[in-house]
Amino acid sequence: GESVGLHLPTLSVQEGDNSIINCAYSNSASDYFIWYKQESGKGPQFIIDIRSNMDKRQGQRVTVLLNKTVKHLSLQIAATQPGDSAVYFCAETSGTASKLTFGTGTRLQVTL
Amino acid sequence: ETGVTQSPTHLIKTRGQQVTLRCSSQSGHNTVSWYQQALGQGPQFIFQYYREEENGRGNFPPRFSGLQFPNYSSELNVNALELDDSALYLCASSSDYYYGGGELFFGEGSRLTVL
């Protein structure tokens, strides 16, 4: 398949460990923050989102934390699996349109 | 319920040519947006169509244009292709023009190479 990101920051974790991917966003007026997973040759896949009036939201094996004071977003993946290997993007939107502003992405590599 | 489908998956054009990319939105979705993803970068918003009208545009020149049809499918047209237009073009659909949470779904993309 095609490589999504050739020069992205890379996070290497061992299978079974927890992963934390960080993102700084720019627009203090953003209403929603979303994490997407993109595997090689595929489109972005929704993981989890969080509204600006929350600071934490949990899904299945994933948690998103939002710190509006420092404009920081993080994605925590519990018990990382080989299938989690992909490029992860954060995105933000003001909610007035489906216009998303994406971050630069982080490549997650899961080692056995 | 079908997902977002795009065609063609890959295509090669030469500088100056024109290209049309197509997208069928997810069943029940009336809004389609298009994104350009250059290699190694995050997707960038091109524009959005809601009920057949453009209602949001990113920082792209007028040679990037689109259409949305009554069945909510969409086309992206790029005229006078330049080498920098080489990218993965992503279509996303949603049930309304604003993001209300968890409802924007992307297709697999059309990989355009301009020689």
Does residue A52 belong to the interface with chain B, where contact is any CB pair within 8 Å? Answer: no
What are B52's strand-pairing partners? none
Average pLDDT over residues B13-32: 94
Q: Can you name the residues that pair with A43 across neighbouring β-strands?
A: none
Q: What percent of chain A has pLDDT over 70?
A: 91
Q: Which residues of B5-18 are buried (b: 16+ CB within 10 A; e: fewer)?
A: ebeeeeeebeeeee
Q: Are B13 and B112 in contact (CB under 8 A)?
A: yes
Q: Cβ contact (<8 Å) for B106 and A31?
A: no
Closest alpha carbon within chain B to A100: B45
Beta strands in chain A (DSSP E): 10-14, 19-24, 32-38, 45-51, 56-58, 62-67, 72-77, 86-93, 101-102, 106-111
Q: Do B99 and A95 touch (CB under 8 A)?
A: yes
* pLDDT greater than 70 at residue A77: yes
pLDDT at A104: 87
Say if the Cβ atoms of B90 and A103 lie within 8 Å. Answer: no
Residue A6: pLDDT over 70: no
**Which ranges constitute the DSSP H helices of chain A?**
none
**Partners of residue B26 on adjacent β-strands:** none
User: Among A54-68, A95-109, B28-42, where is mean pLDDT lowest?
Assistant: A95-109
Q: What is the pLDDT of residue A5?
A: 46
Is residue B17 predicted with pLDDT exceeding 70? yes
Mutation choice for A interface testing from B68, B98, B111 by most A CBs within 10 A: B98
Question: What is the average per-residue pLDDT within A45-51?
Answer: 94
Is residue B91 scored above 50 in pLDDT? yes
Q: How far apart are CA B107 and CA A5, in angstroms?
A: 18
pLDDT of residue A48: 95
